Amino acid sequence: MKKACLYLFMLSFLLFHTGCDMQMNENKKPMSETIGEKEIKLESDRLNAEVLWALGRIGEVAVSPDKTKVLFSVTYYSIEQNKGNTGLYVLNLSTGNQKQITHTPQGEYNPRWRPDGKKIGFLSSESGSMQLWEMNPDGTGRVKVSDFAGGLDCFEYAPDQKKVLFTSQVKLKQSTSDIYPDLPLASGRINHDLMYRHWDQWVDTYSHVFVAEYNGVSLKNPIDIMKNEPWESPLRPFGGAEQINWSPDSKSIVYSSRKKEGKAYATSTNADIFQYDLESGITKNLTEGMMGYDLAAVFSPDGSKMAWESMERDGYEADKIRLMIRDMATGKISDLTSDFDQNVSGLAWSDDGSKIYFTSNYHALDQLYSLHLADGKITKLTTGKHSYTAVYPAGDNLIATRMSMSMPIEIYSVDEASGQQVQVSFINKNILDQLNMGATEERWIKTSDGKEMLTWVIYPPDFDPTKKYPTILYCQGGPQSTVSQFWSYRWNFQMMAANDYIIVAPNRRGLPGFGQEWNEQISGDYGGQNMRDYLSAIDALAKEPFVDEDRLGAVGASYGGFSIFWLAGHHNNRFKAFIAHDGMFNLEAQYLETEEMWFVNWDLGGPFWDKDNPVVKWSYANSPHKFVQNWNTPIMVVHSELDYRIVASQGMQAFNAAVLQGIPAEYLYFPDENHWVLKPQNGILWQRRFFNWLDQWLK
């Protein structure tokens, strides 16, 4: 599951974005634990880490060609086995019947309906490597379709069902043993340029797009349409199958790629959309001259137009995501959201090609929208305290995936005309019905510069306003990702609330959903207004009679971890405990240790040796390591060895600085995790130490 396309599938439930304390037995497990659809009886109505890892996690969703059924994947985890397994389900939209159709130890991924609706295609490693398999819609008749030596990462059927595109890893670089065959056991790596590793993997291979003939029973004559090119599609580390698509006439393939190498690749976000013509073998750049990310192209049903998600500026990974459209006959490109001060995501055409559906975040809520091509009118289709993650047209209704701070992702049917939203999948109903969730409240708090800031407040279950509660300030990562109504499998607000903490989660400066000006303010201002926003939020809540201002803590990961390190040197004794996960501590070291150079160049202003740049001066002057002499508060530091975005030495430096000054500290280190904690037992360990630390200093 570490391949590029499958990575995004995994990330869909791990990024959105685990904690403890209910009546447990000595082994810290629920009374009876089973994996899959079987019932689980809980000993308490409070959420804990073991229960969190028992929840099913919905992944990819596909609507059948006749719009009557929904195919989707669900991953369950075994704590004992320390791994997950993904199975496929089919939901009948007319009857509401939901059935699991696969039950294999190796799992099934990347589920797709064959265009005629008679078969379901999927990837499985039953034969030793990931290959394409097919079965009947009821799960019977399972047969292997491909036998490609390199294995498949993801695939898509051609609309005419005569071909299949897929991606596979291609080795283009010489390894040490290739250069020196007499040293087969040498472990050294030889590098001469940047981007030799990315996120959590060394760059030894490239994901290429292949196309093969399909005769209904097997794949034949695969062709690498990116042959010998030293770049990849989809884009690592998180790009998936959404970045590669067929044209409706099955005559061409469009894919996203950043066709740069080395330093140029590491400093640029200029990814383009390329069209490969199957007959001529010619590849054409459809977004040449557009300098930012251009991703996830989708054709209108008649093939006359192509829509995609586009950022304007090179090097800025959090630029506004625009909805662009290209007339395929004339080549004219138009920005359909120039007056829409929000991002767009997950584009899907209506069946008649008159509208484009998408999700967008506004004021920390992700809703469904439609754009009518005739007049450019954008309509918000849903309301409510939740966040939609994807949308799929399905006849008279829309099928969409939705989550909130109180519920993991489930599938909903949405009536476009009325906005009525009906839950149609119930993967976790058995567990959720037994849990007592805390209330979530939206507050608008005035910042130090007179702005209004949306802040979520999450209360413990059975909240008693006459009591005083220890309270946690949650600092968001990203740095530019909204504190929306998300369900996390690590930073889970209901988990924190179940441990009798109040959580304060501000949408501080530098988060989307509040206009581009609010979002962009953070760039070049690390340690500035966004930190004052955090203090405004916690100071406002500390005035409430139910908040114990003598028992305040602050926690966060990534940029949130940086925030904790910075606050530790500037909080003026507000907080009694800190937890920082994967945070930047020494910005000068961070500049030369990270792999995605475009990020530090944009956000910090450039290298620390550029002494004449005022943004650079401000950024590095506000590096947390320059204020450790002010530290006086117990701090827990968490970091992982496979985090190449913010390397483990950043956390080590912070921990060492605390210990050398006699400050109570704990360092939780994972040698086999990346920027997240993905393994079940590591996740539970994380939760136990997280609450052990907070309980030690705040209770």
- Maximum CA extent, the chain: 75
Give me the count of residues in the chain. 699
Separation of alpha carbons 546 and 471, rounded Å: 10
Treating both helix axes as pointing N-terminal to C-terminal, what angle do 529-542 and 559-568 enclose, rounded to 10 degrees?
Answer: 70
Would residue 395 be called left, alpha or beta, if left means φ above 0 and alpha means ψ between -120 and 50 degrees?
left
Question: What does the DSSP 8-state code read for residue 67?
Answer: S
Cβ atoms 36, 70 nearer than 8 A? no
* Residue 251: CB atoms within 10 Å: 17
* Three-state secondary-structure class, residue 603: helix
Instruction: Show the beta-strand stretches assigned E in 320-417.
Output: 322-327, 333-335, 345-349, 355-362, 365-372, 378-380, 387-394, 397-404, 407-415
Cβ atoms 423, 410 nearer than 8 A? yes
Burial class (CB in 10 A: 0-12, 13-18, 19+), 229: middle
Catalytic positions, please? Answer: 558, 643, 675
Cβ atoms 131, 124 nearer than 8 A? yes
Peptide bond into 137 cis (omega under 30): no
Nearest to residue 147, comparing CAs of 245, 218, 79? Answer: 218
SS (H, E, C) 466-532: CCCEEEEEEECCCCCCCCCCCCCCCCCHHHHHHCCCEEEEECCCCCCCCCHHHHHCCCCCCCCHHHH
Cβ atoms 18, 495 nearer than 8 A? yes
Separation of alpha carbons 257 and 285, rounded Å: 10
Separation of alpha carbons 228 and 1, rounded Å: 25
